[in-house]
Amino acid sequence: MFADPENRTKVKICGLTTLEDARFSSGALADFLGFIFYPDSPRYIEPAKAGAIINWIEGPDKVGVFVNQPLDDVNSIARQTGVDLVQLHGNESPEYCELVEKPVIKAFHITPDKSEADLKEEIEAYADIADYYLFDSKTDRLWGGTGKAFNWQILKGITDEKPFFLSGGLNTHNISEAIKTVKPFAVDLSSGLEESPGLKDFDKIEAFFEEMRGIWEEQEL
């Protein structure tokens, strides 16, 4: 028996570009499906295509991911595609976030030189605006989907601030340790479940959810 869906760790699968991958992820019990509308991403999907996929999928919440894009474009694409939430994965200001029409997941990037105090100061400005936080790693080339984990210990002091998504290099092999370490509201996976950028590997998804089922059973105890 699994933990109550309200209490168990949620799963977001991001970087979806095909109906087949979205349907498989939904059937595997993903709670959120992510579609990247940032044109420079290797996992970019055209809004019209994403909207068609979203129309086919019932159940999971759909998330539109944007990076430092014009506010009018964000709101327009969110309306056009029918996403449930908007994830802002760049350097968007609190004032910008406040004008987004959909509920906001605000991403924060963890770099090796960032301290817990730095992170607390950064997120404080968004406390009354963002609906969720998301913590991810970042490289010089990529805003997300790096396949690299960060030191989760930095989150231990801020885990009670707001429900948050944990991202960055998560996969079947480290997901249990990640959840036990920081107890996120949800985990967010992209590259860890791919055969190539934008194309999911069904075997990896099945193995991941097999691991998650064990975690959910423990959360029921």
Indicate the domain borders of the chain.
10-216
Q: Catalytic: which of 73, 136, 201, 203? A: 136
Domain 10-216 has CATH 3.30.70.260: no
- Average pLDDT of span 197-201: 96
Instruction: Give pLDDT tens digits for 203-216.
Output: 999 999 999 999 99
Q: Which residues contact 10 (CB under 8 A, 6 or more apart)?
A: 31, 32, 185, 186, 187
What is the pTM (predicted TM-score) of this model?
0.93
Q: Using CB atoms within 10 Å of the CB of residue 160, give its burial: 0 to 12 exposed, 13 to 18 middle, 19+ buried.
A: exposed
- Which has the closest alpha carbon to 204: 8, 15, 5? 15
Residues with Cβ within 8 Å of residue 56, at least 6 apart in sequence: 19, 22, 23
Concerning whether 136 is annotated as a catalytic residue, the answer is yes
In the annotation, is 14 catalytic? yes
Q: Where does residue 1 rank: exposed (0-12), middle (13-18), buried (19+ CB within 10 A)? A: exposed
Q: Is pLDDT at 90 greater than 70 in this prediction?
A: yes
Spot the catalytic one: 14, 21, 31, 188: 14
pLDDT for residue 1: 43
Please name the amino acid found at residue 186: A
